[in-house]
Amino acid sequence: MRIRDKVFLFHGSSPFRFAAQALLAAAVASCDGTSETEPEKPEPASNPILFVTQTPYHAGFDTLTATFGNHKPGTTSVARGGDLMILYPDGELRNLTEEAGFGKDADKGIAVREPSVSWDGKRALFSMVIGGTAKNDLGPFYWQIYEVSGLGEGESVHVERVANQPEGWNNVSPIYGTDGRIVFSTDRPRNGDMRLYPQLDEYESVETNTGLWSFDPSVAGGDLRQLTHTPSGAFSPKIALDGRVVYVRWDHLQQDQQAHADRHGGTYGSFDFASESSDERTGSAVENFPEWQNQDEAPPGYHAHLFNQFFPWQINEDGTVEETVNHVGRHEFNGYFDSSKEGLPYHGADTGHAIIRNFLQIQEDLHAPGTFYGVDAPEFGTHASGQIVKFDGHEGKNAADMYPEWVTDPQTADAPEATESAPAGAEGHYRDPLPLSDGTLVAVATPDPRQESGKGEGPFGNETYKFRIRHMVPKEGTSYLTAGAPLTPGITKKVSYFDNTAFAEASYTGEMWELFPVEVVARPKPATRTFEVPEIERKIIDEAMQLSGGYEGLRDYLIQNGLALTISRDVTRRMDEQQPYSLSIPGGASTIAEGVPVEEIAFIQFFQADQLRGYDNHRAGRRPIPREMHDAPDGEQAAVGAYKLGLDGSFAALVPARRAMTWQLTAPDGSPVVRERYWVTFQPGEIRVCPNCHGINETDVVMHEPPPENPPEALAPLLNSLFP
């Protein structure tokens, strides 16, 4: 019998197990004829590393290692057989879930993901799914949050499900808050209504999580709160050393491409429901924001609008002040994107600095607080692996000076198809970069520089990607880093369970992937952050509200009514030229660029993300569609959801909380002039102040002056109308 056909089961945590696995890996390689070399010598890190193993699986857009739709629990999305592991500096390797009694039985197969360590370094959260691996076991089963303790060598491990988390949903990416709460992502509908489950993303209309949430495990019911309502998903949250919650968001605010296909003979069967709380169909699929996705529907002189990026974002732990990290934009990170109409410049790649397409798997450098590592990867084909990049985003860093830096060779961002030849010297791809407290960097690496082939043993469909955690070392003759020695000798396992999708036994024997590494080390816990209202606006609020409870009275009103207040000082001032920027308010403020046609603006109109779009094909759930704001009062209207701009260019508006919102500046007749490109969530009682729309980093593009500081004239009249 060939060595690889035998069943090897390693239990316990002795160093002998580590050595035995190394010998097995070498023997398997030799018998395969794939390598006659000695196995690589492992080099553990200077602190314990917590990570997960995962049975190799095919690349897809709804699998565990995909860029999006990676929260699904079924065996077609995440193969069972993985474990939570810890590696100590002396080389001892422990299987923590196995020691705690999980994953031993084939009919209760498990998968695990995304561990995060407590502030004192003694416990960790992770997500685990159990079951779906016995014949006819069709669920339901869900990713749920667990906590592990006993991480020290010689300690007894203990794993238990975290109390008071929402049940019946997929809860992933858990992290410890600074206030005893747990921040995480889930696919729970925004309001818990099963009509809205699952939420479908704005790209392929497939299942996505609904954003970041938090709960208190010590309180009955968990005091569940939605921090961000994210129509296309939020991923990999972390709490930075300065207290910001940083995370990756998929931004895709564009029209429905499935509905566009239907208008040209497609078979998706797109339609709209009458409301989120109704099952009645309207018989149409209406979209009026943003502009047209395809040029074939755009009027002459206008450009189609495509928007597709994974980007770093930040919020406070209570969900307030959601924005890209330091308000950084596409101009600083991305290459080409087009203008909204003829006569306006497009944004091309700035050859003076590095550019990236996406930013995934954010992780802060403890040695350089505010420096964030991530991965620029293609959307498909590489299991969200690509080029390691980083940027300096410390609080106070001006976004105009925030540019990405390439950590690995730019070639690692690309991925030829599996049937194509790789470029000369191509070195593979990376994911899950982890800056360690000793100043070094480790990452998950695969040597395959192409897209995954989709070929492999049994139902698992992967023979080319071999993810291992490796030290990153200087690449000879370059300024980049490349994969060095592995941390482990490789972890080999036999996996066997019943696949109810194929209605057959699924089995795999071989090397497991190593994913999601985190360092088990204590970190200083930052102070909990809250939003602050600038003194300019605070003074207006105090004066207008002096007979109605002042600032606190306004906040109480907003909280009780599920509202937020958003304010801007002068929306005629802008920092980009890809939408109209020569703007004038009739009889009021103007910011006019010489030689550029002037466009009048008079209103700001808000849109909310209503889950109204359904499909007649196999897709369950609903896609969010922008609809004129109707869950909050609106002002003097040219259109539903609109507020009149002040003559100084300001506005003050009430918006619904805990629902994705976007907006546009409109002409006096209500026609759109300048559109927001992102969804933004507000919290009950939040008072959000932006000096201007499409915020100025240093100076605007016309007057070349810093952000406006005028007291917004629109604020007091709004407050007086609420509290006469």
Query: Which of 449, 484, 519 represents a domain boundary (last residue)?
Result: 519
- Say yes or no to pLDDT of 17 above 60: no
**C-alpha span between 358 and 391 (Å, rounded):** 13
Beta-ladder partners of 95: 85
Beta-ladder partners of 186: 171
**C-alpha span between 132 and 500 (Å, rounded):** 8
Confidence band of 16 (pLDDT split at 50, 70, 90)? very low
Same domain assignment for residues 436 and 576: no
Same domain assignment for residues 82 and 19: yes
Do the domain assignments include residue 529?
A: no
Q: Are strands 599-600 and 583-584 parallel, antiparallel or unpaired?
A: parallel
Same domain assignment for residues 300 and 343: no
Confidence band of 695 (pLDDT split at 50, 70, 90)? confident
The proportion of the chain whose per-residue pLDDT surpasses 70, expressed as a percent, equals 93
Do the domain assignments include residue 130?
A: yes
Q: Kindly state the helix (H) or strand (E) to which residue 239 belongs, with its residue range.
A: strand 234-239
Q: What is the pLDDT of residue 345?
A: 85
Q: What is the pLDDT of residue 351?
A: 66
Do the domain assignments include residue 333?
A: yes
* Segments in 304-459 forming alpha helices (H): 330-333
Query: Which of 494, 519, 544 represents a domain boundary (last residue)?
Result: 519
Tens digits of per-residue pLDDT, 304-321? 999 999 999 999 999 999
Q: What is the pLDDT of residue 418?
A: 85
481 in Cβ contact with 412 (< 8 Å): no
Same domain assignment for residues 429 and 566: no
682 in Cβ contact with 321 (< 8 Å): no
Q: Which of 244, 175, 205, 282 is nearest to 627 (CA)?
A: 282
Q: Which of 8, 21, 150 is nearest to 91 (CA)?
A: 21
- Say yes or no to pLDDT of 340 above 50: yes
Whole-model pTM over 0.75: yes
Lowest pLDDT segment from 19-23, 260-264, 339-343, 373-377? 19-23
Same domain assignment for residues 331 and 478: yes
Tens digits of per-residue pLDDT, 435-472? 999 999 999 999 999 998 777 655 677 778 999 999 99
Confidence band of 425 (pLDDT split at 50, 70, 90)? confident
Confidence band of 665 (pLDDT split at 50, 70, 90)? very high
Please provide the size of the chain in residues. 724
Average pLDDT score over residue span 396-412: 94
The backbone torsions φ and ψ at residue 575, rounded to the nearest 5 degrees and listed phi first, read -115, -5
Q: What is the pLDDT of residue 350?
A: 66
The proportion of the chain whose per-residue pLDDT surpasses 90, expressed as a percent, equals 78
Tens digits of per-residue pLDDT, 572-595? 999 889 999 999 999 999 999 998
Do the domain assignments include residue 347?
A: yes
Average pLDDT score over residue span 513-535: 96
Q: What is the pLDDT of residue 715?
A: 97
Do the domain assignments include residue 161?
A: yes
Average pLDDT score over residue span 140-169: 97
Q: What is the pLDDT of residue 353?
A: 85
- Say yes or no to pLDDT of 18 above 90: no
Same domain assignment for residues 440 and 575: no
Q: What is the pLDDT of residue 349?
A: 66
Tell me the range of 280-284, 561-565, 697-701 where mean pLDDT is highest.
Answer: 561-565
Tens digits of per-residue pLDDT, 269-297? 999 999 999 999 998 999 999 999 888 88
Query: Which of 519, 548, 580 represents a domain boundary (last residue)?
Result: 519
Q: What is the pLDDT of residue 459?
A: 61
Do the domain assignments include residue 267?
A: yes
Q: What is the pLDDT of residue 457?
A: 55
Q: What is the pLDDT of residue 324?
A: 96
DSSP sequence for 563-588? EEEEEES-TT--S-SSS---EE-TTS
**C-alpha span between 241 and 525 (Å, rounded):** 7
DSSP sequence for 166-233? PSSS-EEEEEE-SSS-EEEEE---TT--GGG-SBB-SSS--B----EEEE-TTSTTTT-EES---TT-
Tokens matching residue 692:
């201007």
- Say yes or no to pLDDT of 670 above 60: yes
Do the domain assignments include residue 168?
A: yes
**C-alpha span between 565 and 683 (Å, rounded):** 9
Confidence band of 20 (pLDDT split at 50, 70, 90)? very low
Same domain assignment for residues 154 and 266: no
Average pLDDT score over residue span 176-188: 97
- Say yes or no to pLDDT of 384 above 90: yes
Please give the tally of structural domains in the chain: 3
Q: What is the pLDDT of residue 33?
A: 36
Report the chain's mean pLDDT, rounded to a whole number.
Answer: 90
Same domain assignment for residues 433 and 500: yes
Same domain assignment for residues 467 and 338: yes
Choice between 348 and 312, residue whose per-residue pLDDT is larger: 312
Q: Kindly state the helix (H) or strand (E) to which residue 721 belongs, with its residue range.
A: helix 715-722
Same domain assignment for residues 432 and 488: yes
Q: Which of 422, 322, 309, 314 is nearest to 355 (CA)?
A: 309
**C-alpha span between 120 and 125 (Å, rounded):** 13
Q: Which of 683, 646, 689, 681 is nearest to 665 (CA)?
A: 646
- Say yes or no to pLDDT of 411 above 50: yes
Confidence band of 348 (pLDDT split at 50, 70, 90)? confident
Per-position b or e across 108-127, b if 16+ CB within 10 A of its CB:
bbbbbbbbbbbeebebbbbb
Same domain assignment for residues 408 and 428: yes
> Hey, which bits of 343-392 come out as E strands?
360-364, 371-376, 387-392
The whole domain housing 405 covers 3-253+307-519
Same domain assignment for residues 109 and 78: yes
Task: Tell me the CATH number at 352.
Answer: 2.120.10.30
**C-alpha span between 524 and 119 (Å, rounded):** 7
Beta-ladder partners of 614: 271
Tokens matching residue 156:
């007894």
Do the domain assignments include residue 285?
A: no
Q: ∠ CA(445), CA(446), CA(452), 5° rounding?
A: 140
